[in-house]
Structure 1
Amino acid sequence: MANCLGICTVGALAALLIYAAACSILLPYVLRPPRLLPLEHLASASEDAILADFFERDGSRFFFGVATAPAHVEDDLNDSWVEFARREDRPVAAWRDVPSPGLRLRFWSDPETELDLVQEMGVTVLRLGVDWGRLIPSEPLRGVAAAVDPAAVDGYLHILRSARNRGLRTMVTLFHHSLPRWALGYGGWTDSRTISYFREFAAFCRESFGHLVDYWVTFNEPHIFALFSHCLGTWPPGRRPSFLGATFCFSRFGSYGRAMNNIVEAHKAAYAALHVTGRGDYDSPVGVAHHVGVIRPYSLMDVPLVIVARWLMQYSWIDLIQEHLDFCGLNFYGQEVLSFAGLMLDEDEEYSEAGRGVYPDGLYEVLLAFHNRYKNPRTGQPPFRYIITENGIADDRDVIRRPYLVEHLLAVSAARRAGVPVDGYLHWTISDNWEWSDGYCPKFGLVSVDRIHNLTRHHRPSFYLYKQIAESGIVSKAQRHAAWSALQRELGEGGLRPFCRKTDRFGRMWAEGLDAPILRPISERNWRLGHYVINGMLKYVVRCAEVAAMRLNDAVELLTQLSGNWASRQERGGEEL
């Protein structure tokens, strides 16, 4: 027995040492950017220099725009999100304590207010969506034509024509995290019948709106939807999976695996339906809006997890649909620090109010990584072009948004200089809106909204900065200096910013928001493009002990809970006897 115990102990230690050695070898690979940034012109530029000129090389082909979506902004929308927010057991944060939350931004009854702001902004492309459940309010058992709401069709035609009348091109999203209520009952995307329903929906939208649409987006971040809806239960329908279901959620037969497989087939079917010829003279490009970010390990021992997460979140979906894309839209908000213990709030980093780490270098890294992965290895030609379909930051005080905007546009410019074919940039978003399970707490808008006084709009300084850039196509050194200097003045004065993400005592962030934000100090880290310094190996090694302590605490709490449940069942059994 003693010999067996000794052998097992030695074996466990050897396995641990091998694992640690593998993590040490892989850590530089995980942390290293794909190649050096081409930023020589930034360092040597004179005070009045132009740092990026987006219209210089190909005239007006590059475009600037803004993005929004129905569930964020439309009133009179009795969708699955309103139903979810009204639940008594787990209400959506920062929703019930906000005046008239169901109005969202009145984009259905009063789209002109937002459209006027877009026109004033000087951009040329508006990304918006059509809500599947509004257009098809009941399950189309006898086809879309029998289930469609004609008033909803007229409403979207009015919005699209109003946008066109303002000189805007439109990018229309068909699925933006809002599943029709009738689909929730049978399992939504985990059921294969949704594939044919979505194909029919896409064909109907082309017939009804195609003459007013310049770009189609079939899906917005479906892997995020599948993760939060099926593996975490923090999005509609809000059913917490069992321990076994959560454990195997990402497998081929788990809820996430089934949902993503059906979404892949639905995209391919919709792509074909949107490109059907012989029904008019319009054939607009079709793509997706894919959520990407830089995932970093919190400790040395988290490196393998990060490698798996990067593949699962970044490439697995695009790998399967790359031959059915005219463009690949990328939604980039920053970086996430991942650990076996959870998604970590790293005190060394700057964060948005929604808990996304600020890291402009990451946008360059992601664009280059995608370009290198999908371009033809023999010719170097890309199979599709890229559009930044979302980029922005939740920042109510508007002190970080201005340098954030400048630095991310410089990252796009750097990627274009390196040969990545990026055709446009869409900022998220126009006005502060409802942000999923975070409610109205995070403020992503270039325009603030006074919900107490009839949704009155107020332009933030970043609105005017983006207007200057969108109209000129230029980012100057003076703009960069002014934006960063304003932030540094706030930092010097001990400025505090709201933070809307729920954390535990270890600093782990969960997929839930706060009813009222807490205040966090502005970070001292220099996160400007080309200035970000990655932590050294020692910090990742030291954090291993911290992560081990968190996991031990979790194990003790789980055993305590299981023991309490067992004792409770024993007591109930005794009472029944």
Structure 2
Amino acid sequence: MATYLRLFVAVFWSIAFLYILVCACLFPLLGSQHNSFLDEDDDDGREVLADFFKFNTCSLAAPSGNSCQSDGKFVFGVATAPAHVEDKLNDSWLEFAKGHDGHYPVRAWLNVHAPENRLKFWTQPEVELLLAKELGVTAFRLGVDWGRIIPVEPLHGVEEAADKEAVEHYKWILRRVHDYGMKVMLTLFHHSLPKWALQYGGWTDQRTIGYFTSFAEYAKQQFGDYVDYWVTFNEPHIFVLLTHCSGTWPPGSKRSTLASIGCFTNVGEFGIAMKAIGDAHIAAYKVLHQGTSKSMVGVAHHVGVIKPYGFLDIPIALSTKWLTEFQWIDQIQNHLDFCGINYYGQEILSAAGLMLVDEEEYSEAGRGVYPDGLLEVLNAFHKRYRAHHPSLKYIITENGFADSRDLLRRPYLLEHLLAAYTALKQQGIPLEGYFHWTLSDNWEWADGYCPKFGLVAVDRIHELKRHPRPSYYLYQQITKTGLVTRKQREREWNILQSEIKRGGSRPFCRAVDDRQRMWADGLDKPTMRAIAEKDWRFGKSPTQDLIVYVLRSFEVIQTLILDVIQVLGGRANLQSQHEPMRDL
């Protein structure tokens, strides 16, 4: 027995040593690779820090002989989705939020007035469109709900199954967008699968590829005259992750830990569904380009900067980055006119879960603030694809911050625009536009109405009356001039610092356990969190010291040991029965 024990100990320490060696070898890969044009030596007292309108985005595309599908002027826009804003929409999200058997998976949904009305964008679209027009944006990103247009499985073709009245109403909305002088960016699939497709397995069933291709072709026939940019899919890996693997999204089918891990293999549901969505995009790209259409076709791809919490978390962070960053775009890169980037910030990942770090700043939705990451992401994508696809353009299709107090959103907006401008000015990346998420506070998926992403506040008690926040007017200044100035930057940062000195706090909508792990479940009502003192502005974020990563690893080991003890003791009560937050 003693011999076996010694052998076990020897094997254990050998594996541990090799793992630590791997972590040490991977550590250099965590460093950022950019220099900010806002560094002290390069600033030279300029009043104007960014001038987006001085760039002709067509000139940044290569080869120079290619025709440009835009007018070359940088596009400022706002973005939204049908499931967030449309009333009279009997979709899977509504059914999911209403709950069953006393379980309500969208906790901050029932506690607001008339939640099913969303923003009444179906019956009163003019309210949002007028706000967008006054905001000065030149493009409006919206979607058409697949299930509203095709309410039943199209067994005998799309034409027979389509709701013609819904189609005509969507046409009217799209015409109004153009009437107000805005381009249309139209999303065909934005996290909402028709209920009839959910019933047979959705994207894990091959028939969905054909159905979506037919839907895309029908959408082109009906809406093609109004569309400037097509987005076939929004963040598909997030949809598949939370729908199939964690069960956090409709239909809410929970899995065991072992089944969730198996979901991520190539033969698991994640791999099967992502392959199907890639095939569906390629087929849709081809039908959307049939005929004489000059509309650009792309996707909106979620990319966050994944960082390890501790030294021993480096492999899991880098493997997660590999899984979510390039894998899907690699599959479809030959069928993209533009690659849309949805960027919100950083995720600090550990084997114990997604960590909430006290010194870091977060949105109400739990997104870590890291403006430098936007430039890192744009650089990484441009470097990877420019040789094979030199004419590929980029659009920031989503960037925003949940902040009901509107204190952090304003500097967040400015710092991310400075990162985007650096991509244009310093790196020569063909970035065509920036779309802010979102115009008015809306229903944010499984978080319900708790996180407030809007430039405009919504009074749900009084007929959804809108109240533009200061960030609305700040963005308005930028969209109309194309400028970000030193005065704007200093003013908004100083306002935030004054609030910090007063000991200010703001709401936080993410469930967190006693070991600082964030969870996928939102809260009925937000808790209050202190505003972080860290200088997170673009070009200011320091590189994390190795010693910090090492010390944090001891915390992770302790947490994992306590988890095992709780499970073995029959007291597995980690944040009730919440699933770890996995929307990376």
- Measured in 1, the distance between the counterparts of 2:107 and 2:467 equals 24
Secondary structure at the residue paired with 1:494?
coil
Question: Once the two structures are superposed, what CA deviation does each residue of 1:328-376 show, in whole Å capped at 9, x if it has no partner?
Answer: 0000000000001001111110000000000000001000011111110
Shift of 1:552: 1.4
Matched, 1:74 2:86: yes
Secondary structure at the residue paired with 1:127?
strand
Paired position in structure 2 for 1:395: 403
- Measured in 2, the distance between the counterparts of 1:563 and 1:63 equals 50
Shift of 1:544: 1.2
Secondary structure at the residue paired with 1:198?
helix
Paired position in structure 2 for 1:524: 533
Q: Match for 1:533 among 542, 546, 551?
A: 542
One-letter code aligned to 1:69 = A
Question: Once the two structures are superposed, what CA deviation does each residue of 1:469-511 show, in whole Å capped at 9, x if it has no partner?
Answer: 0110111101111111111111111111000001111111111
Paired position in structure 1 for 2:109: 95
Paired position in structure 2 for 1:213: 227
Paired position in structure 2 for 1:135: 149
Shift of 1:241: 1.6
C-alpha contact 1:268 1:324 (8 A) present in aligned 2:
yes
Shift of 1:205: 0.2
Secondary structure at the residue paired with 1:468?
helix
Matched, 1:86 2:86: no
Secondary structure at the residue paired with 2:279?
helix
C-alpha contact 2:39 2:539 (8 A) present in aligned 1:
no
Runs of 4+ in 1 over 4 A off after TM superposition: 40-43
Secondary structure at the residue paired with 1:72?
helix
Paired position in structure 2 for 1:410: 418
Shift of 1:12: 1.4
Paired position in structure 2 for 1:38: 37
Query: Counterparts in 2 of 1:262-411, with a 5 A limit?
Result: 262-277=276-291, 281-376=292-387, 382-411=390-419
Paired position in structure 2 for 1:574: none
- Measured in 2, the distance between the counterparts of 1:358 and 1:215 equals 28
Secondary structure at the residue paired with 1:92?
coil
Paired position in structure 1 for 2:500: 491
Shift of 1:36: 2.2
Shift of 1:563: 10
Q: Match for 2:559 among 550, 553, 556?
A: 550
Question: Once the two structures are superposed, what CA deviation does each residue of 1:381-422 show, in whole Å capped at 9, x if it has no partner?
Answer: 734100000000000000001100000000001111212110
- Measured in 1, the distance between the counterparts of 2:379 and 2:361 equals 23
Worse-matched range after superposition: 203-212 or 410-419: 410-419
TM-score by length of 2: 0.93
Shift of 1:558: 2.4
Paired position in structure 1 for 2:47: 49
C-alpha contact 1:216 1:284 (8 A) present in aligned 2:
yes
- Measured in 2, the distance between the counterparts of 1:93 and 1:53 equals 43
Shift of 1:276: 1.0
* CA 1:360–1:205: 2 relative to 1, 3 Å: same
Paired position in structure 2 for 1:18: 18
Give the alignment's Cα RMSD to 1 decimal. Answer: 1.5
- Measured in 2, the distance between the counterparts of 1:160 and 1:515 equals 35
- Measured in 1, the distance between the counterparts of 2:475 and 2:491 equals 14
One-letter code aligned to 2:35 = L
C-alpha contact 1:297 1:337 (8 A) present in aligned 2:
yes
Q: Match for 2:436 among 416, 427, 433?
A: 427
Aligned length: 556
- Measured in 1, the distance between the counterparts of 2:85 and 2:350 equals 34
One-letter code aligned to 2:81 = A
Secondary structure at the residue paired with 1:427?
strand
Paired position in structure 1 for 2:579: none
- Measured in 2, the distance between the counterparts of 1:299 and 1:563 equals 24
C-alpha contact 2:212 2:284 (8 A) present in aligned 1:
yes
- Measured in 2, the distance between the counterparts of 1:348 and 1:21 equals 28
Query: Counterparts in 2 of 1:214-229, with a 5 A limit?
Result: 214-229=228-243
Query: Counterparts in 2 of 1:98-109, with a 5 A limit?
Result: 98-109=112-123
Q: Match for 1:147 among 161, 165, 171?
A: 161
One-letter code aligned to 2:165 = A
Shift of 1:249: 0.6
One-letter code aligned to 1:212 = Y
Q: Match for 2:457 among 427, 444, 448?
A: 448
Secondary structure at the residue paired with 2:346?
strand
Paired position in structure 1 for 2:7: 7
Q: Match for 1:248 among 237, 248, 262?
A: 262
Shift of 1:28: 2.7
- Measured in 1, the distance between the counterparts of 2:441 and 2:542 equals 32
Q: Match for 1:118 among 127, 132, 135?
A: 132
One-letter code aligned to 1:35 = H
Paired position in structure 2 for 1:575: none
Paired position in structure 2 for 1:568: none
Secondary structure at the residue paired with 1:55?
helix
C-alpha contact 1:501 1:514 (8 A) present in aligned 2:
yes
Paired position in structure 2 for 1:571: none
C-alpha contact 1:45 1:477 (8 A) present in aligned 2:
no
* CA 1:563–1:340: 2 relative to 1, 3 Å: closer
Secondary structure at the residue paired with 2:424?
helix
Worse-matched range after superposition: 51-60 or 344-353: 51-60
One-letter code aligned to 1:58 = N
C-alpha contact 2:49 2:484 (8 A) present in aligned 1:
yes
* CA 1:15–1:352: 2 relative to 1, 3 Å: same
- Measured in 1, the distance between the counterparts of 2:391 and 2:238 equals 25
- Measured in 1, the distance between the counterparts of 2:495 and 2:253 equals 45
* CA 1:319–1:539: 2 relative to 1, 3 Å: same
* CA 1:78–1:563: 2 relative to 1, 3 Å: closer
Matched, 1:237 2:276: no
Question: Once the two structures are superposed, what CA deviation does each residue of 1:102-139 show, in whole Å capped at 9, x if it has no partner?
Answer: 00000000000000000000010000000000000000
One-letter code aligned to 2:157 = G
Matched, 1:260 2:260: no
Shift of 1:40: 4.6
One-letter code aligned to 2:534 = R
- Measured in 2, the distance between the counterparts of 1:41 and 1:195 equals 52
Structure 1: tracts of 5 or more residues without a match? 565-577
* CA 1:162–1:534: 2 relative to 1, 3 Å: same
TM-score by length of 1: 0.94
Structure 2: tracts of 5 or more residues without a match? 58-71, 574-584
C-alpha contact 2:55 2:74 (8 A) present in aligned 1:
no
* CA 1:14–1:100: 2 relative to 1, 3 Å: same
- Measured in 1, the distance between the counterparts of 2:253 and 2:572 equals 24
Secondary structure at the residue paired with 2:53?
coil
* CA 1:356–1:42: 2 relative to 1, 3 Å: farther
- Measured in 2, the distance between the counterparts of 1:243 and 1:351 equals 28
One-letter code aligned to 1:282 = S
One-letter code aligned to 2:52 = F
C-alpha contact 1:41 1:51 (8 A) present in aligned 2:
no
Q: Quote the sequence identity (%).
A: 55
One-letter code aligned to 1:52 = A
Worse-matched range after superposition: 55-64 or 265-274: 55-64
Worse-matched range after superposition: 247-256 or 421-430: 247-256
